[in-house]
Amino acid sequence: MPYAAETIFFIIFLMAVVTYIPRLLPLLFLSRRKLSPFLESWLSYVPVAVLAALLGPILFIEEGSFTLDININPYFWAAIPSFAIALLTRNMFITVLTGMVSIAVIRLFL
């Protein structure tokens, strides 16, 4: 069933509103308030936790099970030099480049 262009634009507008409200409301309510040191400390771990939640399944689980076999899960092995470069250089560009080169080399030889 084809949809009218107005319906599609309305749905895109609603998706944008639903996406930005959770980001905008805390910014509006908390931007002029001083947070407690405990809360600031607790919130500082949120980006690390989100990154770990995103990377964990990708790096350790392939085809529905835990595996570190390089033939089945090359992403884990490509992540090792990327993490090392990230710790040594603290440079996002070099880290991403290392990851891309690592996965390319692994796929080239497998």
pLDDT in tens, 85-96: 999 999 999 999
**Domain-wise residue ranges, the chain:** 1-33, 36-109
Reported pTM = 0.63
C-alpha–C-alpha distance, residues 46 and 41, integer Å: 10
Share of the chain above pLDDT 90, in %: 75
pLDDT in tens, 40-74: 999 999 999 999 999 999 899 988 899 899 999 99
Residue recorded with tokens 């634009």: 9
Q: Determine the pLDDT at residue 109.
A: 93
C-alpha–C-alpha distance, residues 94 and 101, integer Å: 10
Residue recorded with tokens 């262009």: 5
Question: Residue 17: pLDDT above 70?
Answer: yes
Question: Residue 1: pLDDT above 80?
Answer: no
